Amino acid sequence: MTSWEGSTRRERLPDDWTVRRAHTLVRDGYRCTAVLAPHGKRCDQAATDVDHIRPGDDHDEANLTALCKWHHSRKSAAEGGRAAAAVRAPRHRPPEPHPGEL
């Protein structure tokens, strides 16, 4: 199964996505914009992907950034993990009220 299988993401991209993608890559110098911790240097790998800075369907070029395949995969995996955790049942039961407070 590919990352696009079962997803509606591609269908939700604007008709001019290839133009927006190309503009973003040129703007960012075809270089990954991820900042490496702990020293704060910019990744020196070639950008192959364009991703949304804030998750969702805001396709404005100000919300797009160029990333290398490795950083894009890590960012997408982290976002997917957070989304899955948000719908998962909580691990702990909520505290019961004290009998005197009922």
Three-state DSSP at 52 gives strand
pLDDT, tens digit, for every residue of 40-49?
Answer: 999 999 999 9
Write down the pTM of the prediction.
0.75
Residue 49, C-beta contacts closer than 8 angstroms, at least 6 positions apart: 66, 67, 68, 69, 72
pLDDT, tens digit, for every residue of 62-98?
Answer: 999 999 999 999 998 998 888 888 888 777 777 888 8
Degrees to nearest 5, angle at CA 47 with 18 and 42 = 135
The ranges assigned to domains in the chain are 9-80
